[in-house]
């Protein structure tokens, strides 16, 4: 399940993009409302100790013991009493012991409560905003803007940054070319309005010669130049239905191939529907050091499909969303959190960007980074339109 965080707002009148953050987030009423949904009785003392434990765990990365907590500012009870509170939190399913030690770490349920009710989000400093705005030069191609945004997200957070490539169904087709590849594959090159290029690789059932594909490219360019992808797709499908009985087997098949090209393609390792940067950063996080966990993660990034679909679910959301652990619905992300935000141009959402990292991430820093990245990418794309 995703939780839409509405607390990051922007004043459009300010020069550039400057966050105005609502830091009144650790609110006992909000905690009570949140924990009521989870059927948890939660005292203010338990709330305070849980927040201290999570903050310390984020900073140090080690299980937190009762003695450590009892020495922290604002704790006026003994280590034994803290230990009893920690036992109650564990019974609620909010803490767990990773091994046979006295220390405890938060569960996914605790992370959810922390993010939704206790988090104090930091404002991104002006210099970082300025540097990123400069990097996202509107003169860059959309592909380069997306790559820059993904690299920035990865570089700043030291995690994996992801950006789905803008959808162009509203833009008109300027040219299409087909080139034969090995293993009965065809490369389709779509040149869209504003000279944006999309490459798609499709699998076919027989070999095609270069001159066959050139002839078909000419036919498409003559008939569908200036049409949107949606219009081309609809017209081709209509042509298939009207002419299937009369045309040759070869031409029927070529129209079917073209229909496949103009259908929104699934992300694979061979196409570029989503740009991912910094996957290897995840190897540096102790929480994800298990080899099986890393293998599943890298497989998910390599195939892209599941993560792309997860990001696509965020297209209709407003602002930042956070998936913690298995809230994503994908086992490969069971030990991770995903922070996302949609980006847009001319009021229309074009895609989603985000960061994948361990559940033990500095959410107070990551959330504004993702939000600012979405706002700045949107501003760059708007400047190009």
For every residue of 87-146, DSSP letters joined together read HHHHHTTSEE-SSSSS-BEE-HHHHHHIIIII--PPPPPHHHHHHHHHHS-TTS-HHHHH
Least confident of 68-72, 156-160, 164-168, 357-361: 164-168
Mean pLDDT of the chain: 79
pLDDT digits 0-9 by tens, 272-321: 578 889 988 888 888 887 788 888 887 877 777 678 777 877 877 788 99
Residue 12 has a CB neighbour count (10 Å cut-off) of: 9
pLDDT at 118 over 70: yes
What is the arithmetic mean of pLDDT over 323-337?
88
Highest mean pLDDT among 17-26, 64-73, 201-210: 64-73
Supply the pTM of this predicted model. Answer: 0.70
Between 9 and 172, name the one with better pLDDT: 172
CB 33 within 8 A of CB 146: no
The pLDDT of residue 343 is 93
CB 377 within 8 A of CB 326: no
Where does residue 51 fall: left (phi above 0), alpha (psi -120 to 50 degrees), or beta otherwise? Answer: alpha
In the block, tokens 């694979």 appear at 268
What is the C-alpha separation between 250 and 231, in angstroms, rounded? 23
pLDDT digits 0-9 by tens, 4-36: 343 333 333 224 433 333 333 344 444 444 444
What is the C-alpha separation between 273 and 256, in angstroms, rounded? 22
User: What are the structural domains, with CATH classification, of the chain?
Assistant: 3-21+123-167+274-384 (3.30.450.40), 28-118 (1.10.10.10), 173-261 (3.30.390.60)
Highest mean pLDDT among 40-44, 129-133, 244-248: 129-133
What is the arithmetic mean of pLDDT over 80-101?
89
Q: Binning pLDDT at 50, 70 and 90, where does residue 246 land? A: low
Strand partners, 357: 337
């Amino acid at each position: 399940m995703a939780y839409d965080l509405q607390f990051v707002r922007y004043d459009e009148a300010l020069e550039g993009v400057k966050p105005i953050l609502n830091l009144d987030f650790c609110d006992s009423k909000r905690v009570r409302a949140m924990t009521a949904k989870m059927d948890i009785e939660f005292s203010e003392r338990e709330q305070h100790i849980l927040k201290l434990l999570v903050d310390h765990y984020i900073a140090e990365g080690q299980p937190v013991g009762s003695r450590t907590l009892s020495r922290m500012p604002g704790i006026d009870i003994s280590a034994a009493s803290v230990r009893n509170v920690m036992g109650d939190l564990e019974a609620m399913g909010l803490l767990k012991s990773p091994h046979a030690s006295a220390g405890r770490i938060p569960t996914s349920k605790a992370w959810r409560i922390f993010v939704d009710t206790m988090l104090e989000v930091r404002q991104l400093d002006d210099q970082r905003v300025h540097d990123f705005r400069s990097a996202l030069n509107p003169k860059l191609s959309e592909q380069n803007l997306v790559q820059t945004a993904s690299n920035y997200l990865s570089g700043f957070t030291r995690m994996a940054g992801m950006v789905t490539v803008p959808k162009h169904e509203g833009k008109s087709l300027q040219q299409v070319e087909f080139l034969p590849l090995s293993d009965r594959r065809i490369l389709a090159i779509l040149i869209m309005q504003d000279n944006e290029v999309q490459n798609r690789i499709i699998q076919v059932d027989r070999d095609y010669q270069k001159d066959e594909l050139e002839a078909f490219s000419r036919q498409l360019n003559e008939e569908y130049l200036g049409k949107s992808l949606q219009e081309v797709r609809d017209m081709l499908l209509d042509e298939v239905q009207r002419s299937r009985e009369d045309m040759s087997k070869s031409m029927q098949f070529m129209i079917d191939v073209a229909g496949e090209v103009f259908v929104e393609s699934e992300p694979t390792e061979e196409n570029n529907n989503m740009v991912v940067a910094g996957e290897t950063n995840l190897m540096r996080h102790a929480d994800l050091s298990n080899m099986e966990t890393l293998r599943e993660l890298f497989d998910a990034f390599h195939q892209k499909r599941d993560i792309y679909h997860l990001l696509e679910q965020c297209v209709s959301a407003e602002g930042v969303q956070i998936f913690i652990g298995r809230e994503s619905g994908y086992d490969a992300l069971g030990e991770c959190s995903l922070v996302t935000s949609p980006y847009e141009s001319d009021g229309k959402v074009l895609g989603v960007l985000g960061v994948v990292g361990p559940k033990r991430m500095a959410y107070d820093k990551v959330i504004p980074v993702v939000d600012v990245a979405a706002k700045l990418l949107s501003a760059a794309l708007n400047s190009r339109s």
